[in-house]
Amino acid sequence: MHIVNTVDALRVLIHTWKAAGERIAFVPTMGNLHAGHCQLVKAAKEKADKVVVSIFVNPTQFGVGEDFDSYPRTEAQDQDKLRAIATDVVFQPTVLEMYSPHAKTVVSVTGLSELYCGASRVGHFDGVATVVCKLFNMVQPDIALFGLKDFQQLAVIRTMVKDLNMPVEIIGIETVRETNGLAMSSRNGYLTPEQRQTAHVLYQVLCQAREAILAGNGDYANVEQQALLALQQAGFQPDYFRVCRSNDLASAQLDDTELVLLTAAKLGKTRLIDNLSFTR
């Protein structure tokens, strides 16, 4: 497994592979890898000849007062996990390698980036779109894989790729969950043992809302309010719970059939997000 820290070193490898006609898959991460990340890499290996994984805690997607400084950095353990599943390259740049001190360009997917998590984390999705755009230019992948847990993030990236005519196929991979249903996330490590006993309720409330809709409840505002109440009663501080169209994340209407439930809530100091897609 190659470990490279500069764009120049990465491009030497990419050029060699492309010259040989090899298909390249890319999995961008912020490290602190768990089973969900490993599932992305395994899926990438099935779809391409070479797999590049980036590990970069991106400062531009963290807001003031968020956890950039405390975000878990576990590079050695991450490399061991990636080596065990035969990753071809780990790209692990510094902030200075990724961002010129005088950089002036920001990629912004307007509208979509201001909804839901974007309303609570102003500028977050601009940081995501900018760093992913830069990484795509550096890696030049044929395909890139993202977890469906970050559903809005994936929608932002899909829109960016379409709007900018990027030659990258975006593939979403199903959320990997713990046995109680809690979506795996690097931030789960912030939860106390007591909070971990409660955290799975977020997924339970999503499932209950889905069942209510499938049973014929077309009052989506009521479904949302009941879900928010259930989260509050369980000890969460909910940010939002929305019934959306899965293709553009607009508020769902009664004639929409492809739906996604989106939610974010704090449990203690930990902000958790999750979603559930289904056909009505």
Q: Got the DSSP string for 138-166?
A: HH--SEEEEETTSHHHHHHHHHHHHHTT-
As a whole number, mean pLDDT of residues 198-221 equals: 98
Q: Per DSSP, what are the bridge partners of residue 143?
A: 25, 169
Can you tell me the mean pLDDT for 150-172? 98
User: DSSP assignment of 166-182, as one string?
Assistant: ---EEEEEPPPB-TTSP
Percentage of residues of the chain with pLDDT beyond 70: 100
Q: Is residue 214 very low, low, confident or very high in pLDDT (cuts 50, 70, 90)? A: very high
SS3 of residue 5 by DSSP = coil
Q: Is there a contact between 200 and 267 (Cβ–Cβ < 8 Å)?
A: no
Of the listed ranges 8-22, 61-75, 131-145, 195-209, the one predicted with least confidence: 61-75
Neighbours of 119 (CB within 10 A): 12
Supply the mean pLDDT for the chain.
97
Does the pTM of the predicted model rise above 0.85? yes
Task: Report the Cα 116 to chain-centroid distance in Å.
Answer: 14
Instruction: Quote the pLDDT of residue 164.
Output: 98
Write down the residue that tokens 């531009």 correspond to.
Answer: 60
* Cα separation values, 252 from 118, 139, 249, Å: 19, 36, 8
**pLDDT recorded at residue 238:** 98
Q: With bands split at pLDDT 50, 70 and 90, how would you rate the model's confidence at 15? A: very high
How far is residue 48's CA from residue 53's CA, in Å, rounded to a whole number?
13
Q: What is the pLDDT of residue 125?
A: 98
Rounded to whole angstroms, how far apart are CA atoms 2 and 219?
53
User: Most distant CA pair in the chain: distance in Å?
Assistant: 58
Give residue 54's pLDDT band: very low, low, confident or very high (50, 70, 90): very high
Tokens representing residue 23 in the block: 């298909």
Q: What is the pLDDT of residue 269?
A: 94
Identify the active-site residue in 37, 102, 124, 200: 37
Summarize the confidence of residues 119-125 as an average pLDDT: 96
> What is each CA distance from 117 to 1, 81, 110, 156, 206, in whole angstroms?
36, 30, 14, 12, 17
H-helix or E-strand containing 245? strand 237-245
**Residue 163: other Cβ atoms inside 10 A:** 10
Alpha carbon distance 222, 254 (integer Å): 13
- The three-state (H, E, C) secondary structure of 72-138, written as one string: CCCHHHHHHHHHHCCCCEEECCCHHHHCCCCCCCCCCCCCHHHCCHHHHCCCHHHHHHHHHHHHHHH
pLDDT band, very low/low/confident/very high, at 147 (cuts 50, 70, 90): very high
- In the predicted model, what is the mean pLDDT of residues 262-280? 97
Token representation of residue 258: 């492809």
Q: What is the pLDDT averaged over residues 148-154?
A: 97
Tokens of 175: 């959320």
Domains and CATH numbers, the chain: 2-173 (3.40.50.620), 186-279 (3.30.1300.10)
Cα–Cα distance for residue pair 55/150, rounded to 1 Å: 17
Catalytic annotation present for 2: no
